[in-house]
Amino acid sequence: MKTDEKRRLTRIASKGDVSFMQTTEPSLATRLSEPLNIGGKKVANRLWLAPMAGLGHVAYREVLEEYGGCGLMFTEMCSAKAVPMENRRVSPVFRWRDEELPKLVCQIVGATPDEMIPAARRVEAEGFFGIDINMGCSVPGIVKRHAGAALLKSPEKALAVIEAVRTAVTLPLFVKFRTGWIPDIRPAVALARQFESAGVDCLVFHPRVAPDKRTRPAVLDHIRSIKDAVSIPVIGNGDVVTREECAHMLESTGCDGISVGRMAMARPWLFAEWTRGYQPSEAEFGQYAIRLADALEARYDPVRALKRYKLFTVYFAANFTFGHSLQSKFLAAKSMAQIRAVARQHVRPDMQLSGRPNMNLYNT
């Protein structure tokens, strides 16, 4: 490329021309924007929101949808025991907007077919895009009930759950799971093949052992091993913070798409940014902080809204060089009105951003 042309493109980029983003990074945007078939249903793109307890609630998803660019969204983890009796108007987790159902997957967690079948039938009856069975959560309360990642310790029990749900419903079936409880990937590969044989339509794989709370990097070779073992789509998850890391996971593992969690909380516009060149403005962070506060207050009672906002602040504050100070101000707020006051006063367009979130804060 000639020097004059490079200068011209630099000037265009500095003006925030969306077409520049689309032409300079066609490989990632094009690959992410390619539709994907899951269980006979079409998904618009391959960049998805990961399920996150306490974070991926209906209020956050509403804000996320305003930016667009997300192929599939997943609910928070819903207890299979509770789902059949839940009232969507009051449930903190089994709650949605009707307009999001065509691209919303409900994640359920349970230990036995008897728990999972009624929950799966309720999810199908409500019109969700699909069901995701959680086999990745390793928090003590879930593992103690022999659910989540605990099922990976007993492959026969995990398979029994899958077979039961597959028999009970016809909508697309996902499984979110980890490497297991030991670093050896071979048991997870064998289980992935069994899941496919039992009728699972898509695997979302986080390449860490269950006890690892992100103290070590995700093992990308493990995603490659799962992808090579099955013919159904495999979505990679774990440590994707930048578009470069997103491209690297796709290229190095051969996975069919990417599921983003924590970074989606920090910057929900990344889906639109990575798939179609959306350019956030300098005021985007402050606007996001207020919009999420408004959505939470509209969807939840004041106590729950405040609690959920404070869970979010660690990811939001990690965007900034002095994020610890900002988060402490949010945590001191006693009401949503005070939350808004903090956002208006302390989240400014001239704040110094970290190139990638402050991982010391991000991983807490």
pLDDT in tens, 259-286: 999 999 999 999 999 999 999 998 999 9
- My answer on whether 187 and 50 are in the same domain is yes
Domain count, the chain: 2
Asked, for residue 335, whether it belongs to a domain, the answer is yes
Q: Once rounded to an integer, what is the mean pLDDT over residues 68-87?
A: 97
How confident is the model over 244-264, as pLDDT tens digits? 999 999 999 999 999 999 999
Q: Once rounded to an integer, what is the mean pLDDT over residues 206-211?
A: 92
Query: CATH no. for residue 206?
Result: 3.20.20.70
Asked, for residue 15, whether it belongs to a domain, the answer is no
**Is residue 24 scored above 50 in pLDDT?**
no
Asked, for residue 324, whether it belongs to a domain, the answer is yes
- My answer on whether 355 and 256 are in the same domain is no
How confident is the model over 92-116, as pLDDT tens digits? 999 999 999 999 999 999 999 999 9
Among 276, 302, 328, where does a domain finish? Answer: 276
DSSP H helix total and E strand total for the chain: 17, 10
- My answer on whether 130 and 66 are in the same domain is yes
Mean pLDDT, the chain, integer: 91
pLDDT of residue 213: 72
**Is residue 17 scored above 80 in pLDDT?**
no
Q: Which domain holds residue 167?
A: 25-276
Asked, for residue 4, whether it belongs to a domain, the answer is no
Check residue 50 and report its DSSP letter: P
**137 tagged catalytic:** yes
- My answer on whether 264 and 147 are in the same domain is yes
Q: Give the least confident one: 159-163, 183-187, 208-212, 346-350.
A: 208-212
Asked, for residue 13, whether it belongs to a domain, the answer is no
- My answer on whether 227 and 288 are in the same domain is no
- My answer on whether 217 and 326 are in the same domain is no
* Contacts (Cβ under 8 Å, ≥6 apart) of 201: 38, 39, 130, 172, 173, 174, 232, 233
- My answer on whether 207 and 92 are in the same domain is yes
- My answer on whether 63 and 171 are in the same domain is yes
- Which residues is 209 bridged to in the sheet? 180
Among 245, 260, 276, where does a domain finish? Answer: 276
Q: Give the least confident one: 20-24, 181-185, 206-210, 343-347.
A: 20-24
**Is residue 325 scored above 80 in pLDDT?**
yes
Helices (H), 69-211: 113-126, 140-144, 155-168, 186-198
- Which one has a higher pLDDT value, 63 or 211? 63
- My answer on whether 81 and 122 are in the same domain is yes
- Name the active-site residue from 70, 78, 106, 137: 137
Three-state SS across 88-109? CCCCCCCCCCHHHHHHEEEEEE
pLDDT band, very low/low/confident/very high, at 117 (cuts 50, 70, 90):
very high
Which tokens sit at 237?
Answer: 């998850």
- My answer on whether 98 and 204 are in the same domain is yes
Asked, for residue 251, whether it belongs to a domain, the answer is yes
- Which one has a higher pLDDT value, 27 or 292? 292
Asked, for residue 268, whether it belongs to a domain, the answer is yes
Asked, for residue 354, whether it belongs to a domain, the answer is yes
- My answer on whether 248 and 105 are in the same domain is yes
- My answer on whether 167 and 94 are in the same domain is yes
0.85 exceeded by pTM: yes
Among 228, 248, 276, where does a domain finish? Answer: 276
**Is residue 86 scored above 80 in pLDDT?**
yes
Q: Once rounded to an integer, what is the mean pLDDT over residues 83-89?
A: 96
* Contacts (Cβ under 8 Å, ≥6 apart) of 119: 78, 80, 81, 83, 84, 108, 110
Residue 135 identity: M
- C-alpha closest to that of 355 among 222, 245, 193: 245
